[in-house]
């Protein structure tokens, strides 16, 4: 689907394009056997389904979309009937920070919140694993972006064997119920899995080593996690199949191209905001004919 900054794709066109990048929907633990699973390997991280075919044109489209998203976000904040939670999940170097800068960086700080999740503190570990998450979900009129999310709790513990497969299954059910509750109480949930290849990660990690201005981004622990690449890919495949629900579906974003990653997410976000039927609240009758002297 060629991108056009001045003309938004139709809902039908967007849905058709996105369908190829969304796992089959799950409605519960028993809704999917192995035959019904979506393989993560079926999503090619080098593809560019939203690209015009011209990188400079795509970059310009991202800039135009960022301006349009700022306008829509101001309207969203004024309307205050909705809440929006955007989840950015992906392996190290997949581009979560870059997405925040390119897609959300132009938006007004009014009602905008970014939460970057780290390992839980001792106080947070004393509660259930969703306790700290629930405190950060958006209020009415707010847009909250999660840089990583509660899905870390079905990735890191699974890969490291800290929880058993039955316990992981319980957590998938908890998360589905949690997100269902959010959507039933007025929160729109957009979930993006930023998908890059092993080779692309190698190049981005090497860049962090070679560029002194990016050294601070690199940790020796990144290499240990990279050695677990296959295990993390399996954990991602499992969570995508278990938690892509009708109320909060996953979208896999092919993200080897940073420009395309930004273009795809910005396009989906614009459509979601436009689809809400946002409107300004009624004007105060006292303003009619009022003149400032």
Computed over every residue of the chain, the mean pLDDT equals 93
**Residue 223, domain member (yes or no):** yes
Among 99-108, 202-211, 216-225, the range scoring the smallest mean pLDDT is 216-225
Domain of 156, CATH number, reads 3.40.50.300
Q: What is the mean pLDDT of residues 187-201?
A: 98
Residue 12 pLDDT level (bands cut at 50, 70, 90): confident
Whether the pLDDT of residue 237 is over 80: the answer is yes
The pLDDT, as a whole number, for residue 4 is: 47
DSSP the chain: ----TTSPPPHHHHHHHHHTTSPPP-SSTTS--GGGPPPGGGS-TT--TT--S-HHHHHHHHHHHHHHHHHHHHHHHHH-S-EEEEEEEESTTSSHHHHHHHHHTTS-STTEEEEE--SPPHHHHTS-TTHHHHTTS--TT-EEEEES-GGGGGTHHHHTTSS-HHHHHHHHHHHHHHHHHHHHTTEEEEEEEEE--HHHHHHHHHHHHH-GGGGGG--HHHHHHHTTHHHHHHHHHHHHHHH--SSS-EEEEE-SSHHHHHHHHHHHHHHHHHTTT--PPPPPGGGTT----
Residue 290 lies in a domain: no
pLDDT at 5: 43
Q: Is residue 82 a part of any domain in this protein? A: yes
- For residue range 241-252, what is the model confidence (pLDDT) as tens digits? 999 999 999 999
pLDDT higher at 165 or 31: 165
Structural domains in the chain (count): 1
| 62-79 residue pLDDT tens | 999 999 999 999 999 999
The answer to the question of residue 4 being in a domain is no
Instruction: Decide if pLDDT at 121 tops 50.
Output: yes
- The answer to the question of residue 168 being in a domain is yes
Q: Which domain holds residue 157?
A: 11-279
Q: Which of 32-36, 48-52, 153-157, 192-196 has the weakest average pLDDT? A: 32-36
* Residue 288 belongs to some domain of the structure: no
Q: What is the mean pLDDT of residues 256-266?
A: 98
Q: What is the pLDDT of residues 163-180, one digit of tens each?
A: 999 999 999 999 999 999
Establish if 104 belongs to a structural domain: yes
**Averaged pLDDT, 6-15:** 76
């Amino acid at each position: 689907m060629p991108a056009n900054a001045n003309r938004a794709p139709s809902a039908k066109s967007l849905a058709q394009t996105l369908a190829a990048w969304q796992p089959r929907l799950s409605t519960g633990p028993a809704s999917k056997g192995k035959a019904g699973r979506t393989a993560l390997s079926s999503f090619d991280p080098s593809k560019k389904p939203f690209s015009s075919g011209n990188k400079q044109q795509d970059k310009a489209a991202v800039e135009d979309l960022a301006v349009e998203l700022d306008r829509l976000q101001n309207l969203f904040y004024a309307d205050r009937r909705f809440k929006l939670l955007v989840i950015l999940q992906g392996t190290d170097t997949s581009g979560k920070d870059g997405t925040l800068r390119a897609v959300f960086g132009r938006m007004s700080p009014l009602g905008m919140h970014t939460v970057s999740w780290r390992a839980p503190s001792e106080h947070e570990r004393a509660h259930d694993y969703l306790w700290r998450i629930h405190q950060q979900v958006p209020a009415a009129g707010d847009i909250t972006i999660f840089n990583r999310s509660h899905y870390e709790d079905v990735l890191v513990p699974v890969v490291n064997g800290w929880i058993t497969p039955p316990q992981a299954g319980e957590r998938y059910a908890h998360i589905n119920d949690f997100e269902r509750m959010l959507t039933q109480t007025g929160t729109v949930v957009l979930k993006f899995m930023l998908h890059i290849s092993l080779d692309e990660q190698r190049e981005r990690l090497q860049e962090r080593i070679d560029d002194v201005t990016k050294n601070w981004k690199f940790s020796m622990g990144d290499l240990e996690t990279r050695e677990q690449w296959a295990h993390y890919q399996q954990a991602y495949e499992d969570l995508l199949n278990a938690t892509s629900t009708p109320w909060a579906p996953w979208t896999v974003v092919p993200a080897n191209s940073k420009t395309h990653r930004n273009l795809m997410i910005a396009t989906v976000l614009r459509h979601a905001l436009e689809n809400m039927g946002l409107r300004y609240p009624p004007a105060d009758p006292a303003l009619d004919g009022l003149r400032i002297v």
